[in-house]
Structure 1
């Protein structure tokens, strides 16, 4: 018998308090109270007994014997005291004395199942002791182990077993010798358990072997048996925690580690493993506390310092994290994980030179380390050194051709630098080696959307491949039958969630803010924001004011986000990122809410069948067969909010110059040799015309574009380049431009709107793919259908016509701001009102059990507000 709780007694209040602490597992507090009682009453039987039990529970079996013996001497008629003392003797390795006590207890009349079971256990222990080797023989093997002489230890164990073939000690230490050499020890440890079925240590060691072999169920059985024999076996609690952590049962793992530490407060390994579990639970502060405690016990353990650094970094204590990573590298200079973590921390702190120093130092000793080259590529890109970044990513891929992260980043950088064909080739390679990584799909799709070499059907099919990989509604269906418990009252207030990585000064927020401002005031809607980014700025704070419910989800897993969305009772969930950076499309693939909607971020389908609707407007002229979503048409789906300090309009530059000045303000990734070739046709047709190109980030961008134009016969003196600047400066540049030339097939959006506000129309080409419709959509809203072309010849023909009608162009320039003010694009109140009507229609269909269907919202009176000039 192994009693785990003190006997039920009715002592004074102080004893009751001690027992309560004891039963709650607060052993230190209980010990303090018991000792206080014994100081005043040394012969208090229950206090002595319970303190003896407590000592055994924390592994101090020998230290507990005097208290158990005194309790028995004070109250020899208390049967439990005899059993507790006998059990204590057994655990202290004194089986002969334990058997004597049990026999005496039985002779005194304590003859029951518990005493007989304990007597049998004591007899077995006595028998085993007789088979055991001498103390010097055992000490010799222990010394070999401590000296790290494991082969010699194995030989000594086998020699010992030749003399004592049934010695549990011999089999146990042989198992240890085999394990530390990486050899199979299962059969050996199973033999130990057969010989010593009541030995908790033997069961614990066998459990470790099973866990190493990946047999978690067998390991669990061993740990539980060990704890049944010895509930105070701290190591078994810790190892059970490791098993539970391996099964991702983190709450249970944490509880096991805490039990181990309650029994053995200085147990460094349990402290470390507790930190690991807490880190995985994203309890970063608590994890840091555990790792910090572990460093006190293990000051020269590099892994402990590295883990502390990770927890500190995640908890936003980046400077302290740097010190932990540095300490880990002092201990172990070639520790790759710590070095990579140090680099990541330096990047957060924008200590770029420290990053370079760290990487270059490491590359001196490890020139073929692909991760070092990968990190070098990232820092070079951050520092604007694209040429060096490309070289670093390519070197990483030379070393490891299937390095997915390097390929994904190479694809992104090639695209950003205007090398579209190379970017697409890289994107296909990335998806091939990492089809399970969503970024490998999204990066490729973003590139393909910019290509003229893919038709609309093929582009749609590529998007559907993303859906095939990440449409996983069955995850929810398995657990819940894919049935949402939302109240299906069609007239009630609708809970609408918005998921975005761009709730900051990103361009998308220019469109989101004015609409959300009106939606937030609607009594029919309750708004929730789920922000997938760490960047916070003035725009973030402004948006927070419109959302009563705000959650940062950058550290939230897809499964946890699914639980959060269900917990919040979201009815309609709106995606504002699609295939752009910081998206959560894989979470949408789980079907997070009854209705899922994609809006504004991306000119095309998500490819997800779990995405129910796509919001756009009639002018966008989408073909539904290229969407997995049902298309909902609003009178206008994109609002335009001009800058409050926009520069004044000026007369058309052509009136003074006598020739047209074309312009482009699009990012470099939209420009490629094909786009330049189209523009060059027009420039060749108008040899006096000039062109300005803005948003240049570095000299190499200019050199690239000059080379592309030169290939088309356009001299550099016809081109003027401008770097990136502030909004006011960017808008003022339009005063030098007569007409903007659009990119293709990924046409302009924000740039086209800003140009119109500054009186500059855009000549665009509308193709068959969805991304090529954005420019035409905006122009139609302000009555500029004449600026929409259908092919290269039409593009050149209309450009020539405009050059012959400069006065007409000048009149239009003076009127464009007014056209913008009275267009549907200017009425954010109406856009919000119509969006709410669309949400209500979607919701009513769901409440009626109807599947998603395409529909249109008709224009209506919404007390239109005129945009200020």
Structure 2
């Protein structure tokens, strides 16, 4: 017991009806992330001073600590009903609204907070996050820049600034900013560095990525007390697997794993899907729902409540398919609700260490990916990325209908724009310059990226009209149109993942550079599974030479396409993948596993 706590409790024993003392006690417990004790203290204070705005705000903070943002928003609104001039309460309400998916309303409350306190750097940062979620990347970057002007040490604002500039293909100032983030990871233990954005920063090593994930886990989950170890499993009982994801909907995950989940042998396995996504009424959502023995909506449940549900359900394996990506629910794993906890597919890397032990017991990888730094035990499959047997498709139209030349060689890369680095883009432009009439077909992600990439092409001596931007469309049309491409070019340090599988399924070969980190090796993993080692290059110069050779040698390209077609079943066989996965699950649950 600290001196501060002892002093507060001593004072309360003398004056038990002093609301200020109960309030300060609640603040102490909140700072030490003891939610139950904090709530009790604040409720005592509220009984003594009904509807006091600051006490209501603190009760909202307690609810937010628990992950109950609906309740938190209720308390913050009650507080504002008493006093609308509280910048901190507008800020806290906006944070809860963002987590509840009410981004437009969150922006209004961030703006109201800044009207009252325009020097709040954290509020500018969070406003930037909300703008980002609305697709207003220019406003997001401006908000992050303002946050950094007010507080240059606000590292997570710098990380967000970098990542959204990458999305916009605006590379000015990134090299220095990334160096500053890497230094902060090494030298500033309190710096908050979102791990997913860190993966895409050129130059970061696998060890740095592991350290970043561990730092994030420690900052967010260190206060969580794990549940007691589960009881022994009943002999002969089916293995209960809980898949946890925020992407059981119309999302790239659906084209990778739906059929694998559906293929589980139900005489041995019981499958529960814990969904943190809303029902978007899509065919993908319905397919996931149909693949589950039990389906649970957890968007309105706290991490602790989800963990308690899993423990009551006697889950053997918790498999997190989201990781440190958007709307992460990885705090559930910190409670250790299952017998084993597995990191797979959603986050391309290790989830790191928490309080000296891995946050997850195991990670599903293959031999290529097992070579990078991992906190978890590696479960090695022939290939880590599953795929459905088929992809949705429709009529492909003509080259002309997609703005492509009738005759010229078509290179494509439909990766998100944040994956395109200056080095990668310069390589692509050198390829185009050597092949008159060739074009590069890219995804039209946002207006800023298209503008900046066209300008970058012209600066490198390539006409802007040789970049063709494919507009966003339905997944069926997107898959179908890819057959008009001749060859896909990869990105680094963040490869194509589902996008690579899309192209390969359509019979389009992919050239990649073998990298040193998890996200820089995914394409290598897929190509080795298909026996297409000649498509794996050691550096960008080699990739440039290979791309030009294949464009100039139709017979060589046709041979690769034929081999891709003959070996496609190695990659697009969910039944086979499921058998391999089930064997790995069974092995993991053995006493020595």
> Would you say same fold, with TM above 0.5?
yes
Q: 1:738 matched to which residue of 2?
A: 486
1:655-706: per-residue Cα shift (whole Å, max 9, x none)? Answer: 99554221111100110101112222322332342222123321x2112112
Q: Which residue of 2 aligns with 1:88?
A: none
Query: Which ranges in structure 1 are unaligned for 5 or more consecutive residues?
Result: 1-210, 227-234, 289-307, 314-320, 853-869
Structure 1 residue 500, shift from structure 2 partner = 2.2
Q: Is the 8 A contact 2:315 2:338 kept in 1?
A: yes
Equivalent position SS for 2:442 = strand
CA shift digits 1:189-239 (9 cap, x unpaired): xxxxxxxxxxxxxxxxxxxxxx9997233245346xx7xxxxxxxx58998
Aligned in 2, Cα 1:607/1:649: closer, same or farther, shift over 3 Å?
farther
Question: Map of 1:365-514 to 2, 5 A cutoff?
Answer: 367-370=118-121, 373-403=124-154, 406-418=157-169, 419=171, 421=175, 424-425=178-179, 427-428=181-182, 435=189, 440-443=193-196, 445-448=198-201, 451=202, 453-456=203-206, 459-460=209-210, 475-476=225-226, 480=228, 483-487=229-233, 489=235, 491-514=236-259
Q: Distance in 1 between matches of 2:79 and 2:44?
A: 26
Shift of residue 783 of structure 1?
Answer: 3.6
1:862 matched residue in structure 2: none
Q: CA 1:663–1:525 in 2, change beyond 3 Å: closer, same or farther? A: same
Conserved 8 A contact 2:432-2:462: yes
Structure-2 residue corresponding to 1:566: 311
CA 1:680–1:570: 2 relative to 1, 3 Å: same
* Residue of structure 2 in register with 1:710 after alignment: 458
2 CA distance for matches of 1:385 and 1:639?
33
Please say if residues 495 and 572 of structure 1, whose CA atoms lie closer than 8 Å, have aligned partners that are also in contact: yes
| Superimposed CA distance per residue, residues 825-849 of structure 1 (whole angstroms, 9 cap, x where no aligned partner) | 22212211221111111112x2xxx
Aligned to 2:445: 696
Question: Which string of whole-angstrom CA distances, capped at 9 and with x for unpartnered residues, describes residues 701-742 of structure 1?
Answer: 112112332343322232222332222332343243211111
Contact 1:693 1:721 in 2 (8 A): yes
Partner of residue 421, structure 2: 672
Aligned with residue 841 of structure 1, among 577, 580, 587: 587
1:310 corresponds to 2:57: no
After the TM superposition, which of the residue ranges 246-255 and 680-689 deviates more from structure 2?
246-255
Instruction: State which of 325, 328, 338 in structure 2 corresponds to 1:593.
Output: 338
Aligned ranges 1:513-528 → 2 under 5 Å: 513-519=258-264, 521-528=265-272
- Pick closer, same or farther for the CA change 1:607–1:374 going to 2, 3 Å: closer
Match status 1:831 vs 2:577: yes
- Provide the C-alpha distance between the structure 2 equivalents of 1:773 and 1:239, rounded to a whole number of angstroms: 56
Change (3 A) 1:682 1:592: same
User: Which whole-Å CA distance do the structure 1 matches of 2:54 and 2:115 have between them?
Assistant: 33
2:369/2:525 contact within 8 Å kept: no
Please say if 1:633 is aligned against 2:380.
Answer: yes
Is the helix fraction higher in 1 or 2? 1
CA spacing shift, 1:833–1:717, aligned 2, 3 Å: same
The TM-score normalised by the length of structure 1 is: 0.57
Counterpart for residue 364 of structure 2: 615
Distance 1:843 1:365 in 2: 55
Q: Distance in 2 between the 1:531 and 1:343 partners?
A: 24
SS in 2 for 1:674: helix
Instruction: Name 1:5's counterpart in structure 2.
Output: none
Q: What does the per-residue CA deviation read over 1:162-205, in whole Å, with 9 as the maximum and x for residues that have no partner? A: xxxxxxxxxxxxxxxxxxxxxxxxxxxxxxxxxxxxxxxxxxxx
Are the counterparts in 1 of residues 8 and 25 from structure 2 also a CA contact under 8 Å? yes
User: Do structure 1's residue 606 and structure 2's residue 351 form an aligned pair?
Assistant: yes
Checking the alignment, whether the CA contact within 8 Å between 1:415 and 1:669 is kept in structure 2 is: yes
How far off is 1:393 after superposition? 1.4
Structure 1 residues 274 and 509: CA distance shift in structure 2, 3 A: same
Taking a change above 3 Å as real, the CA distance of residues 271 and 616 of structure 1, as seen in their structure-2 partners, is: closer
- Tell whether the 8 Å contact from 2:198 to 2:204 is kept in structure 1 after alignment: no
Instruction: Point out which structure has higher relative CO (alpha carbons under 8 A, 6+ apart).
Output: 2
Of the structure 1 ranges 271-280 and 658-667, higher mean CA displacement relative to structure 2 is found in: 271-280
Q: 2:9 aligns with which of 208, 211, 217?
A: 217
CA distance in 2, matches of 1:287, 1:583: 14
Tell me if structure 2 keeps the 8 A contact 1:408–1:426.
no
Give yes or no for contact 2:121–2:147 (8 Å, CA) kept in 1. Answer: yes
Alignment of 1:729-768 (within 5 A): 729-768=477-516
Residues in 1 aligned to 2:399 and 2:107: alpha-carbon distance in whole angstroms: 50
Residue 229 of structure 1: aligned partner: none
Aligned-partner Cα distance in 1 for 2:123–2:129: 10
CA contact (8 A) 1:374 1:406 kept: yes
Separation in structure 2 between the aligned mates of residue 460 and residue 761 of structure 1, nearest angstrom: 31
CA pair 345-590 structure 1, distance change in 2 beyond 3 A: closer
Contact residue 168 and residue 417 of structure 2 kept, 8 A = yes
Which of 76, 80, 87 aligns to 1:336? It is: 87
- Stretches of structure 2 lacking an aligned partner (at least 5 in a row): none
Q: Kindly state the Cα deviation for residue 624 of structure 1 after the two structures are TM-superposed.
A: 3.8
What is the CA distance between 1:547 and its match in structure 2? 3.3
**Where in structure 2 are the equivalents of 1:45-124 lying within 5 Å?**
none
In 2, Cα distance between equivalents of 1:522 and 1:779: 32
Q: Number of residue pairs matched?
A: 574
CA 471–488 in structure 1, closer or farther in 2 if over 3 Å, else same = farther
Computing the radius of gyration over CA atoms, which structure comes out larger, 1 or 2? 1
Shift of 1:791: 2.2
Report if aligned partners of 2:125, 2:157 keep a CA contact under 8 Å in 1: yes
Q: Return the alpha-carbon distance in structure 2 between the equivalents of residues 287 and 765 of structure 1.
A: 43
SS of the residue corresponding to residue 764 of structure 1 reads strand
CA distance in 2, matches of 1:272, 1:365: 16
Range with greater deviation from structure 2 (531-540 or 749-758): 531-540
SS of corresponding position for 2:520: helix
- In structure 2, the partner of 1:577 is 322
The structural deviation recorded for 1:775 is 1.4
Taking only aligned residues, the RMSD between alpha carbons, in angstroms, comes to: 4.6
Report SS of the residue matched to 1:729: helix
TM superposition score normalised by structure 2: 0.79
Q: Is the alpha carbon distance of 1:727 and 1:422 closer, same or farther for their aligned partners in structure 2, counting shifts above 3 Å?
A: farther
What's 1:799 paired with? 547
1:754 aligned counterpart, secondary structure: helix
Which residue of structure 1 aligns with residue 527 of structure 2?
A: 779
Give the superposition deviation at 1:507. Answer: 1.4
Q: Distance in 2 between matches of 1:358 and 1:221?
A: 40
**SS where residue 363 of structure 2 aligns?**
strand
Offset at residue 364 of structure 1 (A): 6.3
User: How far apart, CA to CA, are the structure 2 residues paired with 1:724 and 1:344?
Assistant: 30
8 Å contact kept, 1:238–1:257: no
Q: 1:795 to 1:240 in 2, by over 3 A?
A: closer
CA distance in structure 2 between the aligned counterparts of 1:214 and 1:493, rounded to whole angstroms: 50
Change (3 A) 1:523 1:259: farther
Distance in 2 of aligned mates of 1:656 and 1:278:
58
